[in-house]
Amino acid sequence: MDKAEKLLLLLDGLDEATARRDGIMQQIKDFSHRFDQSKLVLTCRIAAVSPWL
């Protein structure tokens, strides 16, 4: 994807990604920095993930 292109990325259920949570969060952060003009929406149950967000 060209950096000038825009994208809306919707990710749901992050609280269910328990086995590889740190790696997944790092990939999401890397993506959001690389494509900073794109919009990113993450959803989860807050009680399940509040320690690592």
Whether 28 is covered by a domain: the verdict is yes
| 16 within 8 A of 45, measured Cβ to Cβ | no
Q: Which two tokens stand for residue 17?
A: 């990604």
Tell me, what's the pLDDT at 3?
56
Whether 37 is covered by a domain: the verdict is yes
Whether 1 is covered by a domain: the verdict is no
Helix or strand run (H / E) with residue 42: strand 39-43
The Cα–Cα gap between 42 and 26 comes to 14
Integer-rounded Cα Rg, in Å, for the chain is 12
Whether 18 is covered by a domain: the verdict is yes
Whether 2 is covered by a domain: the verdict is no
Range of the domain at 25: 8-49
Domain count across the chain: 1
Burial 11-27 (b: 16+ CB within 10 A, else e): eeebbeeeeeeeeebee
Tell me, what's the pLDDT at 17?
78
Q: What is the mean pLDDT of each run of 10 residues along the chain (53 residues)?
A: 76 82 87 91 72 56
